[in-house]
Amino acid sequence: MDILGHVKEVAATPFYRRRPMASLRYSYAKWKFLLNRIYTPGEFLEGLGVSAQVALSGYARWRPLLEDVVRSVKEKQGHQGGVSIEDGMVLFGIVRAMQPEYVIETGVAAGVSNSFINAALLENGHGTLYSIELPPAQSGAGRHEDGGVFAWPNTGVGWAVPPEIRNAIGDRNILILEDVRKALPKLLETLPQVDIFFHDDLHTPDHMLWEYELVWPHLRTSGVLLSDDSNFSWIQFCRDRQVKDGHYRNMQRLTAVLKP
Ligand SMILES: C[S@@+](CC[C@H](N)C(=O)[O-])C[C@H]1O[C@@H](n2cnc3c(N)ncnc32)[C@H](O)[C@@H]1O
């Protein structure tokens, strides 16, 4: 574990700076995630009980476009919390394998995860993605509680989503520009079920736990709950809900469980 990098991260995160116990729990969780890290999307998908071959069918067609998305966000705006190519492949694969009708992502930013999920929905030929993001003025108003600072408000939400994907997906991707704390409870009441939920908005543990707990009853049996930048709230959630096997298995702290 990069101890110096971790200390710098905690020092730059308002939530942890004010909470020494929480920052200790965070350090422990990161160490556990490091010990249980999986390095390839195929292995991660198989660990969830999903055939990687089925899940990644059709990926080769989208690969150049999606790799360009990741590259262009890095070049133009820096890291910006966008998912990596490997994490994006997991998102793509789960959407292909589960053939969902209702997918939710929280945290759109430049649109990296959005591009991978929408590409898979296009490949499936059905299903809708609901994407929740803060209004630009709120996201761009300075450092967030989890330490995030975002440049996308200058260029527009989802600016990196290629026109080929944006135009083809059309109204099968519904963007909700509202604080997730208000938007998500309302959205969940309108959907018959959730097939896949991907958390990638505010990464403070109390907020993440709130989100996992809120979504879980709406997730269909065999639906998938995914979280990026997981911390001890994920471990606690898996323990409380007695979810088997998902506590520590991760790829770059992307975690996922299937609802039994
Ligand atoms: C890590 S970035 C998302 C990256 C994106 N998933 C991608 O792969 O490109 C986190 C995003 O969550 C948004 N966010 C933070 N707090 C939020 C909230 N309370 N409601 C909705 N979105 C929020 C931020 O504005 C930011 O754009």
pLDDT by residue (tens digit) across 61-109? Answer: 999 999 999 999 999 998 789 999 999 999 999 999 999 999 999 999 9
Ligand 1 centre distance from Cα of residue 149 (Å): 10
DSSP letter at 220 equals: E
Residue 246 class from Cβ within 10 Å (0-12 exposed, 13-18 middle, 19+ buried)?
A: buried
Mean pLDDT for the stretch of residues 186-215 = 98
Q: What is the pLDDT of residues 1-56, one digit of tens each?
A: 788 988 899 999 999 999 999 999 999 999 999 999 999 999 999 999 999 999 99
Closest C-alpha to ligand 1, atom 8: 82
Nearest CA to ligand 1 atom 11: 107
Judge contact between 110 and 82, C-beta under 8 A. Answer: yes
Q: What is the pTM of this model?
A: 0.97
State how far the Cα of 16 lies from the Cα of 21, in Å rounded to an integer: 8
219-227 vs 255-258, strand pairing mode: antiparallel
Extract the runs of DSSP E, i.e. beta strands, from the chain: 102-106, 128-133, 173-177, 194-199, 219-227, 255-258
pLDDT at residue 246, rounded to an integer: 81
Say how far apart CA 139 and CA 145 lie, in whole Å. Answer: 11
* pLDDT tens profile 154-175: 999 999 999 999 999 999 999 9
The minimum-distance atom of ligand 1 relative to the CA of 179 is 20
Query: Does residue 182 have a pLDDT over 90?
Result: yes
106 CA to middle of ligand 1, Å?
Answer: 6
Give the residue-averaged pLDDT of 201-211.
98
Residues with Cβ within 6 A of ligand 1? 81-83, 106-113, 132-134, 139, 144, 148, 150, 179-181, 200-202
Those residues whose C-beta lies under 8 Å from the C-beta of residue 37, and which sit 6 or more positions away, are: 250, 251, 252
Beta bridge partners of 197: 104, 225
Domains of the chain as residue ranges with CATH:
3-258 (3.40.50.150)
Write the residue with the smallest CA distance to atom 2 of ligand 1.
Answer: 81
8 A C-beta contact, residue 52 and residue 92: no
